[in-house]
Structure 1
Amino acid sequence: MKDYQLIIFDWDGTLMDSAAKIVSCMQLAAQQCDVPVPDAQAVGNIIGISLRPAIQILFDTQDEQLTDALFEGYKAAYLEKDITPCPLFEGTLELLTTLRQRDKTLAVATGKARRGLDRAWKNTQTGHFFTTSRTACEAASKPSSDMLEQILSETGISACDAIMIGDTVFDMQMAEQIGMDRLAVSYGVHDSDRLAAHNPVAIVNTVSEMRPILLPR
């Protein structure tokens, strides 16, 4: 097993159990904009993509006015209306602590906006674990490899010494494009069969199962 120097995590559905809140907020936005309300599976299929392109895919629209309205409706629901909790997955703090103690460089590549990630870090007191991060505000949306390429450039670590961890095919695709190893988690929004199609080094069912892969010795 490879001893990775740089470990890059997706956020929603990988470290934070936020899928239910994302679904609820997207449904609230649809209701507010008087468009058909998507079901949980449909919303799950676009989690991981940056918000604006995700909305356009989910609602099959290129109408900028509708996209703007859904975008603002989603943000308002997330910040002000919806109270669905977003805990870290069990074992996350322990894993991050151990990885940092072993001098691993940790990063986040997420479809969240910068303010959203900063808010999540503040609420969970986890920001100090990460050397760097890229969000929808600084890079092209997944499945583009732009986020990963920026992180590699900033850290000076090569793709062969890094691994991307995520719960969606978008996470797998972005790493696959640049020959970076990828680790899939089955407890997020995309099922194991879809993730397996992108040849991850493994598919884990819990956060704790990552440990022997990320810390092989």
Structure 2
Amino acid sequence: MQHSLQCCRLVIFDWDGTVMDSVGRIVSAMQTSAKLAELPVPTAYEVKQIIGLSLDLAFTSLFPCMNKQQHQSLFKHYREQYVHHDPTPTPMFEGAELLFQQLHQQQRQLAVATGKARKGLTRIFAETGLAHYFVTTRCADDARSKPDPDMLLQILHETGLQPEQAVMVGDTSHDMLMAQKAGIPRIGVTHGVHGLDVLAKFEPIAIVDDLHQLKTLFSSS
């Protein structure tokens, strides 16, 4: 583990459920949107399993029998619910900016690989003022959906780094499998969607419970 982090020049973060505590709003907005689109309302567990995927893939997974009109309706309602109507708070996880500051001081580059749309990440960056920490980002609009490694391969190409010089930090099996396919070491975070038992299946170099533990992990490398 220590060797992998000592070699690490690039830390790639998932966003929802890893850096931002947005799982509750995603679940609530998806359930309300399904109701408005006259589709079966998925359970919280079912919605959590698609977090990190592009919306098209997420919708297909949750509602395999929906028609084109229902898809369009769901897409419209979900965007409106998540951005404008759902009151569920989406704070940054405690310690996020301190972690980014530390990694910068260690002269490591930071990137984002997220299932969010570009418009959504841009909005979040404007609200949080965190954009300057990241050398590059990849969103659902820019690459094939997780767990395809396309996002990570694009980031490696842009930064000119090898897989072993990077580490992926994420909270879902989609993040872990994407990194595994790209040959990138990975760290699981249990404060989002998936717990220790699921994340461990993808042979991460570490699993932490929160960003404070992650900060300590990088401090000791």
2:150 aligned residue: 146
- Structure 2 distance, partners of 1:54, 1:191, is 20
Kindly indicate whether the alpha-carbon contact (under 8 Å) linking 1:14 and 1:185 is maintained by their aligned counterparts in 2.
yes
- Structure 2 distance, partners of 1:109, 1:39, is 26
Q: List alignment gaps of at least 5 residues for structure 2.
A: none
Deviations 1:128-185 (A, max 9, x none): 1000000001000000000000000000011010000000000000110121100000
Pick aligned residue for 1:51 from 52, 55, 74:
55
- Structure 1 distance, partners of 2:214, 2:22, is 19
2:77 aligned residue: 73
Deviations 1:61-118 (A, max 9, x none): 3632222211111001112211211100011011011111221100000000001011
Q: List alignment gaps of at least 5 residues for structure 1.
A: none
TM-score, reference length from structure 2: 0.95
Kindly indicate whether the alpha-carbon contact (under 8 Å) linking 1:167 and 1:184 is maintained by their aligned counterparts in 2.
yes
Pick aligned residue for 1:42 from 36, 39, 46:
46
2:208 aligned residue: 204
Task: Using the TM superposition, give the Cα deviation of residue 36 of structure 1 relative to its aligned residue in structure 2, in angstroms.
Answer: 1.4
2:170 aligned residue: 166
2:119 aligned residue: 115
- Structure 2 distance, partners of 1:144, 1:213, is 27
The runs of at least 4 aligned residues of structure 1 exceeding 6 Å deviation read none
One-letter amino acid of the structure 2 residue matched with residue 93 of structure 1: E
Alignment: residue pair count: 217
Kindly indicate whether the alpha-carbon contact (under 8 Å) linking 1:61 and 1:67 is maintained by their aligned counterparts in 2.
no
Instruction: Report the RMSD for the aligned CA atoms in angstroms.
Output: 1.1
Q: Report which stretch shifted further, 72-81 or 109-118.
A: 72-81
Partner SS for 1:107: strand
- Structure 2 distance, partners of 1:215, 1:65, is 51
TM-score, reference length from structure 1: 0.97
**Are 2:181 and 1:177 equivalent residues in the alignment?**
yes
- Structure 2 distance, partners of 1:178, 1:214, is 22
Deviations 1:171-208 (A, max 9, x none): 00011012110000011111211111000011100101
One-letter amino acid of the structure 2 residue matched with residue 134 of structure 1: R
One-letter amino acid of the structure 1 residue matched with residue 54 of structure 2: S
Kindly indicate whether the alpha-carbon contact (under 8 Å) linking 1:8 and 1:165 is maintained by their aligned counterparts in 2.
yes
2:92 aligned residue: 88
One-letter amino acid of the structure 2 residue matched with residue 125 of structure 1: G
One-letter amino acid of the structure 1 residue matched with residue 200 of structure 2: A
